[in-house]
Protein backbone atom coordinates (compact mmCIF):
# COMPACT_ATOMS: atom_id res chain seq x y z
CA UNK A 1 0.00 0.00 0.00
CA UNK A 2 2.77 2.44 0.93
CA UNK A 3 4.52 1.70 -2.34
CA UNK A 4 1.53 2.95 -4.33
CA UNK A 5 0.28 5.69 -1.99
CA UNK A 6 3.31 8.01 -2.06
CA UNK A 7 3.66 8.19 -5.87
CA UNK A 8 -0.10 8.59 -6.21
CA UNK A 9 -0.20 11.49 -3.74
CA UNK A 10 2.78 13.16 -5.41
CA UNK A 11 1.06 12.79 -8.76
CA UNK A 12 -2.07 14.43 -7.37
CA UNK A 13 0.05 17.25 -5.93
CA UNK A 14 1.78 17.86 -9.26
CA UNK A 15 -1.54 17.79 -11.10
CA UNK A 16 -2.97 20.33 -8.65
CA UNK A 17 0.01 22.62 -9.13
CA UNK A 18 -0.34 22.38 -12.90
CA UNK A 19 -4.04 23.14 -12.60
CA UNK A 20 -3.37 26.25 -10.49
CA UNK A 21 -0.65 27.50 -12.85
CA UNK A 22 -2.84 26.76 -15.86
CA UNK A 23 -5.78 28.63 -14.37
CA UNK A 24 -3.65 31.69 -13.63
CA UNK A 25 -2.16 31.52 -17.11
CA UNK A 26 -5.51 31.29 -18.90
CA UNK A 27 -7.14 34.02 -16.85
CA UNK A 28 -4.35 36.60 -16.71
CA UNK A 29 -1.76 35.91 -19.42
CA UNK A 30 -3.61 34.13 -22.23
CA UNK A 31 -5.65 37.10 -23.55
CA UNK A 32 -2.52 39.26 -23.91
CA UNK A 33 -0.46 36.80 -25.99
CA UNK A 34 -0.39 36.59 -29.80
CA UNK A 35 -1.90 33.51 -31.49
CA UNK A 36 1.43 31.76 -32.19
CA UNK A 37 2.46 32.08 -28.53
CA UNK A 38 -0.85 30.57 -27.46
CA UNK A 39 -0.24 27.54 -29.68
CA UNK A 40 3.27 27.04 -28.27
CA UNK A 41 1.93 27.43 -24.75
CA UNK A 42 -0.82 24.84 -25.27
CA UNK A 43 1.65 22.29 -26.66
CA UNK A 44 4.14 22.87 -23.83
CA UNK A 45 1.47 22.63 -21.14
CA UNK A 46 -0.02 19.49 -22.65
CA UNK A 47 3.35 17.76 -22.77
CA UNK A 48 4.23 18.86 -19.25
CA UNK A 49 0.84 17.83 -17.88
CA UNK A 50 1.08 14.35 -19.38
CA UNK A 51 4.78 13.58 -19.05
CA UNK A 52 5.67 14.89 -15.58
CA UNK A 53 3.24 12.73 -13.57
CA UNK A 54 4.07 9.75 -15.77
CA UNK A 55 7.80 10.12 -15.09
CA UNK A 56 7.13 10.60 -11.37
CA UNK A 57 5.16 7.36 -11.28
CA UNK A 58 7.88 5.55 -13.21
CA UNK A 59 10.63 6.79 -10.91
CA UNK A 60 8.85 6.42 -7.59
CA UNK A 61 7.07 3.22 -8.54
CA UNK A 62 10.38 1.39 -8.98
CA UNK A 63 11.51 1.92 -5.38
CA UNK A 64 11.98 -1.29 -3.46
CA UNK A 65 10.84 -1.57 0.16
CA UNK A 66 13.62 -1.86 2.76
CA UNK A 67 14.59 -5.36 3.78
CA UNK A 68 13.89 -6.26 7.37
- Determine the pLDDT at residue 68: 66
- Determine the pLDDT at residue 34: 93
Confidence check: pLDDT of 60 > 80: no
Helix (H) or strand (E) holding 41: helix 35-61
| Spatial contact of 8 and 16, defined as CB atoms under 8 Å apart | no
Between 1 and 50, where is the model more confident? 50
Q: What is the pLDDT of residues 6-34, one digit of tens each?
A: 888 888 998 898 889 878 888 888 889 89
Amino acid sequence: MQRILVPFLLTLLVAGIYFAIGYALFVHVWPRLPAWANVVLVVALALAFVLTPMFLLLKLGNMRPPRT
